Chain A
């Protein structure tokens, strides 16, 4: 609905409202328009509506993948701590697993380990290890363990039929059990990545355990 300016003062600035809303008006024209708008609720409302339209046009901008290392540089600037940033959104994890892309590249870790598709868990053509998380011989997700300084663990859980905080535990080849950290499962699904507290080649099994100690799934890492 077009607002019909009720008085000559509105008529005088109506031509400038669009540019005022866009922030492209300058000089005397801007000063005159602003002075009027500050005292005129109708024109102020119109400027706000036109600003909202301009903002909406920006949402048509294309989605473009930033350059490699964008996240790393950004998180450094933001001061986001290193441990936090590896908790990945589900969408990214699916892309990693299904597309068979570079696992750690997608994690933003920059180690460049390549995955190739093959079976339930993509095969990895480097020293990184992938294994199925299972429970009662049924797949519940995947685990990836990648060597490095530090090494990394990435875990994706599906269909675990639990919502809540779960713990990732590791059993080492020496038989030690280590709680690595916790993450959230929503409707049985969740993803998580973290620095390994031990060398990757020392990890024998990975476990997903509920708060009351119930084992939801486990994976055996074949080195």
Chain B
């Protein structure tokens, strides 16, 4: 069971296979919790979010569509949205983006070459993110990971709104070009 693909596990979960669910949880709990704790910085809040994300994956596995992305991005996106909701409810200040980047695998000081050499499950993303100017990288992580609006980024980084919008947009578009993202249209 542990060697089944993510897609097979989610297919099993969609029909209520508990063994598939247990395997999926054990495969992803560290990543889900890691994202939650790097966003929230609080172990208990992170556990609440991580548990809810995995419960939702279990209950809504039937809506997962492998053509639109991987299981990892699906469950992590669920986690991110829940963590953003939790931050809003708690009115907590988002963690410093450097925390996400350093806890993960991309340092703010890391060069594209260093990122490319590092051992990581997502080398393309690492290298692409590392290739951005540091200020663009920070703005992008604040928006993508922490769900900050351009106005929030502007305030937090003490930069004009237009600059914040440009950093987010240009950073995302550059990553898209670098990563050559392909998606199947719904």
Asked if A18 is an interface residue, CB under 8 A from chain B, the answer is yes
Contact of A75 among B1, B22, B34, B74 (CB under 8 A): B22
Q: Are A70 and B140 in contact (CB under 8 A)?
A: no
In the assembled complex, which residues on chain B have CB atoms less than 8 Å from the CB atom of A17?
A: 169
With A77-B51, A80-B22: A60-B148 Cβ-Cβ less than 8 Å: no
User: In the docked arrangement, what's the CA distance between A45 and B186, Å?
Assistant: 10
Q: Mark A6-30, 1 if CB is under 8 A from B, else 0.
A: 0000000001011101111110000
Chain A's closest residue to B25 (CB) is: A74
* Smallest beta-carbon distance A50→chain B, Å: 5
Q: Are B3 and A186 in contact (CB under 8 A)?
A: yes
In the assembled complex, which residues on chain B have CB atoms less than 8 Å from the CB atom of A66?
A: 29-30, 33, 47, 50
Q: Are A56 and B58 in contact (CB under 8 A)?
A: no
For B, the interface residue count at a CB cutoff of 8 angstroms equals 71
Chain A's closest residue to B142 (CB) is: A24
Q: Are A53 and B175 in contact (CB under 8 A)?
A: yes
Stretch at the interface among A81-89, A132-140, A170-178, A205-213: A81-89
Q: Are B1 and A19 in contact (CB under 8 A)?
A: no
* Smallest beta-carbon distance A18→chain B, Å: 4
* Smallest beta-carbon distance A218→chain B, Å: 25
In the assembled complex, which residues on chain B have CB atoms less than 8 Å from the CB atom of A23?
A: 81, 147
Q: Are B69 and A59 in contact (CB under 8 A)?
A: no
Q: Which of A30-52 contact B (CB under 8 A)?
A: 44-45, 48-52
Chain A's closest residue to B153 (CB) is: A24
Q: Mark B91-134, 1 if CB is under 8 A from A, else 0.
A: 00000000011011110000000000000111011100100000
Chain A's closest residue to B59 (CB) is: A78
Most B C-beta atoms less than 10 A away, residue of A58, A74, A77, A85: A58
Q: Are B173 and A50 in contact (CB under 8 A)?
A: yes
Contact of A70 among B34, B51, B55, B165 (CB under 8 A): B51
* Smallest beta-carbon distance B30→chain A, Å: 4
Asked if A125 is an interface residue, CB under 8 A from chain B, the answer is no
In the assembled complex, which residues on chain B have CB atoms less than 8 Å from the CB atom of A65?
A: 30, 33
Q: Are A57 and B18 in contact (CB under 8 A)?
A: no
With A1-B177, A23-B147, A50-B176: A58-B80 Cβ-Cβ less than 8 Å: yes
With A62-B104, A63-B34: A71-B69 Cβ-Cβ less than 8 Å: no
Q: Mark B159-185, 1 if CB is under 8 A from A, else 0.
A: 000000100110011011101011101
Chain A's closest residue to B30 (CB) is: A63
With A15-B165, A73-B51: A78-B19 Cβ-Cβ less than 8 Å: no
Please name 23 pairs of A and B residues whose Cβ atoms are closer than 8 Å in the assembled complex, sorted by A.
A15-B165, A18-B173, A21-B172, A22-B143, A50-B173, A51-B183, A52-B183, A53-B179, A54-B172, A55-B69, A56-B179, A57-B175, A58-B79, A59-B72, A60-B104, A60-B129, A61-B104, A64-B30, A66-B47, A70-B50, A78-B58, A80-B21, A186-B3
Residues of B within 8 A of A (CB): 1-3, 18-19, 21-23, 25-27, 29-31, 33-35, 37-38, 43, 47, 50-51, 54-55, 58, 69, 72-74, 76-77, 79-81, 100-101, 103-106, 120-122, 124-126, 129, 140-141, 143-145, 147-150, 165, 168-169, 172-173, 175-177, 179, 181-183, 185-186
Closest 7 pairs (CB-CB, A-B) = A89-B2, A61-B35, A64-B34, A55-B73, A18-B169, A58-B76, A63-B30
Beyond the given pairs A58-B76, A60-B101, A60-B122, 4 more chain A to chain B contacts, judged by CB atoms under 8 angstroms and listed by A's residue number, are A24-B147, A49-B183, A53-B172, A84-B22
